[in-house]
Amino acid sequence: MNKLLAAMLAAASCASVAEAQQERISADTSAPILTLEEAVAVAGGAAPSADAANAGIEAAQENRTVAGLRPNPVAQAQVENVAGTGPYSGLRSAETTMGVALPIELGGKRSARVAVANAQLSRAELEAAIAAADVRLQVTSLYVEAISAERRLATARDQLRIADDALRAARVRVQAGRASPLEEQRADVARINAAASVERAARLAEVARLSLARRVGRPIDGGLDVALLDRLPAATYGPTVLPSASGTLTLAAADADLAIADAGIRLARANRVPDLNIGPALRRLEATNDTAAVFTVSIPIPLFNNGKAAVAQASAERSRVEARRRMTALDVEQAIAEAQAEAANAETSARAAAGPALAAAQEAARIARIGYREGKFGQLDLLDAERTLADTRVAAIDALANYQNARARLERLTAPAPHGGNQ
């Protein structure tokens, strides 16, 4: 009695979940399919990382504007020969000077500052491209998980249908006296387990869809491109192309850091050259009520700080960045090689699991069903064949998903850097 009640509850729960899923699928047929490219485009516009990268570009552009500005002039006022003794008491002999000090930068400081700002702007633009590539990888992973979950749900429903057919066949055999009632119990257990599998797969499919919708930034009312899971490249033969980090986003970012360090050395050297301060002014002599022009030139004496330490610091920073760039090149090439091997192995597994292995399992299950109905095979043979088919189907889905994810990771590692820049 308890077993029968549990079976009824499981069937009811599964029916409710299946009904909800069926309603969503019915709605999906009328709504447009959200492709992977569309999901990436929508997620890129709503990603916080994209907003941060765009703000970084805007800040770098303003920094370049600031770097190109000239120093501000300084207004000066000076009163001499006041509050003294004799003829210099009071303001009778006062000399008032009003003028402007104009800083003149020497050594190419302004162009050096602009070069640093341009290098930083190029780095900010690369950050935006890196953020977009990361968003694409994240959305692809969630999309692949969502369509894989839907494929697993479809497989679980098919297995439930097969289990229902097997239960009906077992009942016919038992009622005809050709089999023991134990066969009907086994078939009923298999059906209950299949129903529970449908419920679990439906719940996981719903969670995967919600995760994708959360990352995209909007509800997903339509269907997904489930056929994407089956897309495998044409089989290729021949030697594997050796990986190269040249032109990738990661190495371009390291090159941009090196360009910033080079510009920093140039700026440090330019700062060693003292600047001139030219001060044209007008002086009024209180005693005679006359005026006279005054012209001053001043230049700092690099006695305590001649800029050598700043140049040495910039050079050391450049050496550090250059060493990190070499390390990055090696790491990227190794990562690409590993990703290539991972994608190739995943492709091999996907071709085998979704091809010959799945076809053999389907044929074995078909033969077992026919043989069981005709009394040539036992129920255990049928259950074993069906279990093998279910496992092979799930393995094929997992292998296809692993390939799509491995390919996405390889594309992220080999993503090309955008051409152009600001110099």
CATH number at residue 128: 1.20.1600.10
- Extract the tokens encoding 319: 């050496």
pLDDT (0 to 100) of residue 241 = 63
Query: What CA dihedral angle connects 332, 119, 318 and 269, to 10 degrees?
Result: 170
Whether pLDDT at 141 is above 50: yes
- Give the Å distances, CA to CA, from 158 to 153, 379, 384: 9, 19, 16
Model pLDDT for residues 274-307, shown as the tens digit of each residue: 999 998 888 888 778 888 888 889 898 888 889 9
324 vs 92 pLDDT, higher one: 324
Q: Cβ contacts of residue 292 below 8 Å, gap of 6+?
A: 282, 283, 285
pLDDT (0 to 100) of residue 235 = 67
Confidence band, pLDDT 50/70/90 cuts, at residue 124:
very high
Model pLDDT for residues 235-250, shown as the tens digit of each residue: 665 456 666 788 899 9
Q: Are 142 and 208 in contact (CB under 8 A)?
A: yes
Q: Are 62 and 108 in contact (CB under 8 A)?
A: no
From the list 143, 132, 136, 137, the residue with the least C-alpha distance to 212 is: 143
Whether pLDDT at 8 is above 70: no
Whether pLDDT at 9 is above 70: no
Q: Are 4 and 184 in contact (CB under 8 A)?
A: no
pLDDT (0 to 100) of residue 88 = 66
**Residue in this structure with the two tokens 């129903």, named with its chain if needed:** 195
Q: State how many domains the chain has.
A: 1
d(CA 170, CA 191): 12
Instruction: Find how far residue 132's CA is from the centre of its chain.
Output: 6
> Which range has the worst mean pLDDT, 17-31, 101-115, 170-184, 399-413?
17-31
Domain assignment present for 210: yes
Domain assignment present for 206: yes
Q: Cβ contacts of residue 340 below 8 Å, gap of 6+?
A: 240, 243, 410
- Give me the mean pLDDT over the 251-257 stretch: 95
Domain assignment present for 232: yes
d(CA 148, CA 168): 30
Domain assignment present for 380: yes
- Kindly state the percentage of the chain with pLDDT values over 70: 88
- Beta carbons within 10 angstroms of residue 129's beta carbon: 17
pLDDT (0 to 100) of residue 31 = 64
Q: Are 198 and 17 in contact (CB under 8 A)?
A: yes
d(CA 306, CA 254): 31
pLDDT (0 to 100) of residue 22 = 47
pLDDT (0 to 100) of residue 390 = 84
Confidence band, pLDDT 50/70/90 cuts, at residue 18:
very low
Structural domain for 177, as ranges: 34-70+105-272+307-413
- Give the Å distances, CA to CA, from 376 to 360, 369, 373: 20, 10, 8
- Kindly state the percentage of the chain with pLDDT values over 90: 44
pLDDT (0 to 100) of residue 367 = 86
- Give me the mean pLDDT over the 197-213 stretch: 94
d(CA 92, CA 86): 10
Instruction: Find how far residue 282's CA is from the centre of its chain.
Output: 63
Q: Are 365 and 389 in contact (CB under 8 A)?
A: yes
Confidence band, pLDDT 50/70/90 cuts, at residue 420:
low
Task: Return the half-sphere exposure (C-beta side, CA atoms, 13 A cut-off) of residue 354.
Answer: 19
- Give me the mean pLDDT over the 309-336 stretch: 94
d(CA 19, CA 192): 17
Domain assignment present for 318: yes
pLDDT (0 to 100) of residue 224 = 92
d(CA 123, CA 92): 63
Q: What is the largest CA-CA distance in the chain?
A: 141
pLDDT (0 to 100) of residue 236 = 61
CA angle 310, 315, 320 (to 5 degrees): 125
d(CA 328, CA 323): 9
Whether pLDDT at 25 is above 70: no
Domain assignment present for 299: no
Whether pLDDT at 90 is above 80: no
From the list 339, 397, 345, 337, the residue with the least C-alpha distance to 137 is: 339
d(CA 231, CA 140): 14
The pLDDT mean for the chain works out to 84
- Give me the mean pLDDT over the 357-372 stretch: 84
- 3-state SS class at 276: strand
Confidence band, pLDDT 50/70/90 cuts, at residue 1:
very low
Confidence band, pLDDT 50/70/90 cuts, at residue 147:
very high
- Give me the mean pLDDT over the 202-218 stretch: 93
Whether pLDDT at 3 is above 70: no
Burial of 194 (0-12, 13-18, 19+ CB in 10 A): buried
Domain assignment present for 40: yes
Domain assignment present for 285: no
Task: Return the half-sphere exposure (C-beta side, CA atoms, 13 A cut-off) of residue 217.
Answer: 12
- Give me the mean pLDDT over the 97-102 stretch: 89
